[in-house]
Amino acid sequence: MTARPGPLVLGIESSCDETAAAVVRGPGHVLSNVVATQHELHAEYAGVVPEIASRAHLERIEPVIVTAVRAAGITLADLDAVAVGHRPGLIGSLLVGVSAAKALAWSLDVPLVGVDHVHAHLYAGGLSGTLPLPEIAYPALGLVVSGGHTSLYRLTDPLAITRLGRTIDDAVGEAFDKAATLLELGYPGGPAIDRLAVRGDDTTHDFPIARLDNPLDFSFSGLKTALLYAVRGHPVGRGPAATFPRSAADLSDAARADCAASFQRAAVTAVIRNTRRALESTSDTRSLLVGGGVAANTRLRRELGALADERGVTLRIPEIAYCLDNGAMIAGLASQRLDRGEADELTLSAATRVVV
């Protein structure tokens, strides 16, 4: 990806619990990137509550957009297009962002560009606040690891994407959040597990790694159950009447750290194993593109770097600011659609499901 002048695009992202907006010039030069998180609103539930999330988006969408435009040193009149992540995600949350994007595009008389949120994560490794921009060479293998998605993709260009494998149950980010809940570490769980795992022995527990018919698919439900039993013991009784002999509060600090480290090792090993399989199945892959909130995990970043070196491909993993949901990835990928003369009508719909 070479730096070149390009359109000024406002990207809006509201698929889950981050209200985000960014201004990007051309394929990936980030001029501003503003994210309002909702962690404090969902912490007591240890997960995202859709109705709370959508109401928070309504309150925050305007100030986030205004802040992003001002931080970029421009005005709304300078924008060449408005982009929005319109799928997949929580429908109430998506509707807030899509409605705001439509209103802005209509009032400014500029193109509206819809972007797939998951595909945008694969573009995040090409973003930067400074020039020159990171170059992405295709064909590429894409890995999305987030709270809602864990998938592998084949990309022949930024917009030509084919899914190779996916999770059949829980996403790895959701598994990290559940693990943190079991260990009573708070929410969001991924960073908490990452911090605690550093102090633990990752060989204490031999947690399972799923083996599936499609060797590129993922499953993390069994891993969560294994951690549950390691922390609380095996249940006594059946069904709603079942009880556990202990809780995380009964474990020593060292035992909890060992559980976190062993869990993280198993989760990361599953991701690396399937990614290696996908790389071994092709001979022309030039880049490994990684995106999603779990891409911020220190162990995963380290092992992905080692895997890329082993396979002789270039790793494009986002800066931490672009791992979580953000508007910059939306605007950057939208610029690729604009380069091809593509845009959407104001009838653009929000959609909860992944297309590919």
Q: Within a domain: residue 214? A: yes
Is the pLDDT reported for residue 216 higher than 70?
Answer: yes
Domain that holds residue 31: 8-127+320-339
Measuring CA to CA, how many Å separate 222 from each of 166, 179, 218, 225, 246?
16, 12, 11, 5, 20
Do 213 and 157 share a domain, yes or no?
Answer: yes
* DSSP letter assigned to residue 353: S
Residue pair 334/135 in contact (Cβ under 8 Å)? The answer is no
Do 169 and 277 share a domain, yes or no?
Answer: yes
Show Cβ contacts of residue 198 under 8 Å, excluding neighbours closer than 6 positions: 261
Is the pLDDT reported for residue 115 higher than 60?
Answer: yes
Do 74 and 189 share a domain, yes or no?
Answer: no
Query: ∠ CA(207), CA(212), CA(213), 5° rounding?
Result: 165
Task: Report residue 235 CA to chain centroid gap.
Answer: 34
Query: In this structure, what CATH number is given to the domain that contains residue 76?
Result: 3.30.420.40
Do 183 and 305 share a domain, yes or no?
Answer: yes
Do 114 and 158 share a domain, yes or no?
Answer: no
Q: Tokens 């970029």 label which residue?
A: 72
Residue pair 294/272 in contact (Cβ under 8 Å)? The answer is no
Do 172 and 290 share a domain, yes or no?
Answer: yes
Do 105 and 93 share a domain, yes or no?
Answer: yes
Give tens-digit pLDDT for 220-256: 999 999 999 999 999 999 888 889 999 999 999 999 9
Q: Within a domain: residue 185? A: yes
Q: Within a domain: residue 31? A: yes
Is 311 or 187 the better-scoring residue by pLDDT?
311
Q: Within a domain: residue 3? A: no
Do 81 and 115 share a domain, yes or no?
Answer: yes
Q: Within a domain: residue 132? A: no
Pairing of strands 112-116, 18-25: unpaired
Domains identified in the chain, total number: 2
Give tens-digit pLDDT for 69-103: 999 999 999 999 999 999 999 999 999 999 999 99
Q: How many angstroms separate the CA atoms of 179 and 165, rounded?
A: 23
Q: Mark residue 275 as left, alpha or beta (left: phi above 0; alpha: psi -120 to 50; beta: remaining).
A: alpha
Q: Tokens 């509060």 label which residue?
A: 249
Do 93 and 162 share a domain, yes or no?
Answer: no
Do 281 and 144 share a domain, yes or no?
Answer: yes
Give tens-digit pLDDT for 32-53: 999 998 888 888 887 889 999 9
Q: How many angstroms separate the CA atoms of 173 and 148, rounded?
A: 7
Do 312 and 324 share a domain, yes or no?
Answer: no
Q: Within a domain: residue 344? A: no
Residue 53 pLDDT = 93
pTM, entire model: 0.95
Q: Within a domain: residue 118? A: yes
Do 122 and 192 share a domain, yes or no?
Answer: no
